[in-house]
Structure 1
Amino acid sequence: MSTTRTRAGARYLPPGYWCVRLPRFGSLLLHRRTLAVVAGLSVVALLVAALTVVTGAYHLTPVEALRTLVLGTGSDLDRFIVLDQRLPRVLAALLVGAALGAAGAIFQSVSRNPLGSPDIIGFTTGAATGGLLIILLGGSVTSMTIGAGTIVGGAITALAVVLISLRRGLSGDRLVLGGIAISAILASVNDYLLSRSAIEEAEVAKAWQHGSLNAISWQPLLPLVLVAAIAIPASLLHVRNLRILELGDDTAAGVGLGLTRTRVTALTIGVALTAIAVATAGPIGFLALAAPQLARRLSRSPGVSVLASTAMGALLLIIADLAAQRVLSPFQIPVGLVTAAVGGAYLIWLLVFSRQQSARPSRSPG
């Protein structure tokens, strides 16, 4: 959003914004409440992450865990638990949550629909199909091959949805409907693959399909860090175009925005974030759906905020993973089951909240 001038030529800011001047790139408007919300969400997420690292089923006092984390002291088992199990799991939860939050904001902005998240419109299901094919039919099953399968599966699904939607223009409604149709087909494919596989392979695939961080290690973190380091900043740089898209196709085209090019670019970034999240932790449902809407209500921003959604996604997943570790301790449940339960409650709340809002009588100007 650009600044404007008064008749006297002086610049002014919209209420609630800061202006940051960037050399060679003009100026940038920042929503003050959104920045405060992002800072608060980030602090809480880091506190929960620290609590997850220093506590757990393995008996270590918080002081001993901190010494092991910072100084590398303690026994070999202490260092293994803290540095090779708890720490990569926490980092994976933060990064996967951030990736899904950003992807959800992108998809909801492109589709102009609060249900336009990657798990609803089929991209998560397509990425899961690619991963299942590797697990059940691939000869060598590693984190790298599963990651490659999820990326290919997500890309092919995205291409299919875009081609279906392009027949009469890549509109938000057609994108959501086409994605739901593809998701239903792929869900049946996934179930068929599980039914035709050996019981041992089916158990492994089913556990992965629930979405879990239980067996995370340092090896899968490298591709996650690389993709997130590129795709999340790219999504933030694309925010201006996403905001224009939210105004409607006619308005966006009227200001010279290339609708198809903008949507394809945004979807490419969103698919990359979704695929790498699924490759790392398996399909984690509802987080990409809920994070953008919760962030928007907290920040009260005029549109879906990618930055606030990124922070909200990281916070939601680190809290869900802590609950997955502690609720049935010493047993650990897949974090995808926790997010699914919370997501179902969120949908109920969203329906009730929307119904109450629509039922309120509007006040007449007089």
Structure 2
Amino acid sequence: MTRPHPHPSVAMPRNEASRATSEVVYRRRRRTALSLVIVAAVGVTTLVLAVSVGSYAIPLDRFWQVLTGQGTGFDHAVVLEWRMPRGVTALAVGACLGLSGALLQTVTRNPLASPDLIGISGGAYTAVLILLVYVGSQWELVAPAALIGALIVAAVLFSVSGGRSTQSGSRFLLAGVALAALLGGINSWIILSASLESAMTAATWGAGSLAASTWQTVFLSTAALAVGSVLSSLAVRRIKVHTLGDDLATSLGSAPRTLRIQLIVISVMLAAIATALCGPIGLLPLVAPPIARALVRTSEAPLALSTLVAAVLLAMADLLAQHALPGGPPAGLVTTVLGGIYLMFVLLRR
């Protein structure tokens, strides 16, 4: 007995739908790859400008001589000891914050989720303030203190939100905004009650400055970025399932609550280390993922592109603060102002 062949009128639409889906996926991947190349090229250009431009200008030929070990001693000091660590730190810290924001927005399914808006950066700031004001300027303990403070805030937020239903993302965000306001008041009180020297140190650090960057900050920030990137890449497939909803993800064998905890821990770790190294960098994790989504034209936050976009934005903000704005304000203030303008633009557009 022969099996009947499917009718052409039934087979053709399926084939056409399959081809259309493949075409959409191909176009999205092509846009993603092109965006990654363009943003990376902008980042490299920004780094070269950060090293070359200044009161003591270094042309490209002398910059290349320094990289190949043929430059003068003073050029070597300017490039490799002063400017290069700051430029690379800006890229690495910005990348950490971009990945942190993309992971947090994926977990909460809310484009307004950001470590600085929901209190994670504020918790890290509070822990560092307590260390600097009440314990002393023990800078080797700043990173552990910031991580502990951020993890405590994340634990409180996750316990409040429950992390189970589809409403948990909104509850997580609202609880974070309330906790960020509370921590902001606590931080102001700590600074006002501190001695003048401690208050000045804490206020300078809290502005989000990259001026004290060294090769040690480069190592710590790139190490944190590498660990976060590896852990995120291992969870990429489960992240895609997570975006389909908790019920469907559970039916496919995934554990949404466990994945949510893992992603929040990764996001908190990245934001805490970035805050510990340079102070709070305002609104950068908020604006980078939407820009990446706009470049790729997708509803999901692309992790790699969000990471690169944030890195370039912080490097450009620091370059702008150094050479285009009067007084040379910290990069954190620049990102806060530009991020606020962007947020107002989005709200008015909607």
Q: Could you give the per-residue CA deviations for residues 72-93 of structure 1, whole angstroms, max 9, x where no partner exists?
A: 5213x33222111111111111
Residue identity in the other structure for 1:153: G
Q: Which has the higher helix share?
A: 2
**Structure 1 partner of 2:95:** 98
Which of these residues, 50, 53, 60, is aligned with residue 51 of structure 2?
53
- Provide the secondary structure at the position in 1 that maps to 2:247: helix
8 Å contact from structure 2 (residues 163, 169) kept in 1: no
Say whether 1:348 aligns with 2:332.
Answer: no
Other-structure match for 1:69: 67
Separation in structure 1 between the aligned mates of residue 157 and residue 14 of structure 2, nearest angstrom: 48
Cα distance in 2 for residues equivalent to 1:160 and 1:72 = 54
Measured against aligned partners, the alpha-carbon deviations of 1:291-323 in whole angstroms (never above 9, x if no partner) come to 000110111124111111011111111110110
Structure 1: unaligned runs, 5 residues or longer: 1-5, 19-28, 355-366
1:307 aligns with 2:304: yes
Select 1:295's aligned residue among 267, 292, 300.
Answer: 292
CA distance in 1, matches of 2:215, 2:160: 39
Same amino acid, percent of matched pairs: 35
Structure 1 stretches of at least 4 aligned residues deviating more than 4 Å after TM superposition: 167-170
CA–CA distance in structure 2, aligned partners of residues 345 and 72 of structure 1: 45
SS of residue paired to 2:68: helix
Secondary structure in 2 matching 1:17? helix
Deviations 1:6-36 (A, max 9, x none): 989xx97632335xxxxxxxxxx98221121
The 8 Å contact of residues 104 and 118 in structure 1, kept in 2 or not, is answered as: yes
Aligned pair partner of 1:134 in 131, 135, 156: 131
CA RMSD of aligned residues (A): 2.2
The offset of 1:118, in angstroms, is 0.8
Q: TM-score, normalised by structure 2?
A: 0.89
User: Secondary structure at the residue paired with 1:57?
Assistant: coil
1:182-193 aligned within 5 A: 182-193=179-190
Paired AA for residue 332 in structure 1: G
Q: Which residue of 2 aligns with 1:21?
A: none
State the AA in 1 paired with 2:136: G
The corresponding residue for 1:177 is 174
Q: Distance in 2 between matches of 1:154 and 1:43?
A: 33
Deviation of 1:168 (Å): 7.1
- TM-score calculated relative to the size of structure 1: 0.85
Counterpart selection for 1:237 from 234, 238, 255: 234
Aligned-residue offset at 1:162:
1.0
Partner in structure 2 of residue 158 of structure 1? 154
300-309 vs 268-277, which moves further: 300-309
- Over residues 81-121 of structure 1, what are the superposed CA-to-partner deviations in whole Å (9 max), with x where a residue is unaligned? 21111111111111111111111111111111111111111
Q: Report whether the alignment pairs 1:148 with 2:144.
A: yes
Correspondence 1:39 to 2:37: yes
Which of 19, 24, 27 is the equivalent residue of 1:16?
24
CA shift for structure 1 position 70: 3.1
Aligned AA (1:71): G
Match in the other structure for 1:3: none
For 2:99 and 2:149, locate their aligned partners in 1 and report how far apart those are by CA, in whole Å. Answer: 20
Verify the 8 A CA contact 2:96 2:224 in the aligned structure 1. no
Cα gap change, 1:252 to 1:353, in 2 (>3 Å):
farther
- C-alpha separation in 1, matches of 2:294 and 2:95: 18
Distance 2:137 2:336 in 1: 30
**CA offset at residue 188 of structure 1?**
1.1
Cα distance in 2 between the residues matched to 1:288 and 1:102: 8
Secondary structure, aligned partner of 1:230: helix
The alignment partner of 2:345 has SS state of helix
Q: 1:162 to 1:39 in 2, by over 3 A?
A: same
Q: How many pairs are equivalent?
A: 334
1:333 and 1:72 mapped to 2: Cα distance?
34
User: Higher Cα Rg: structure 1 or 2?
Assistant: 2
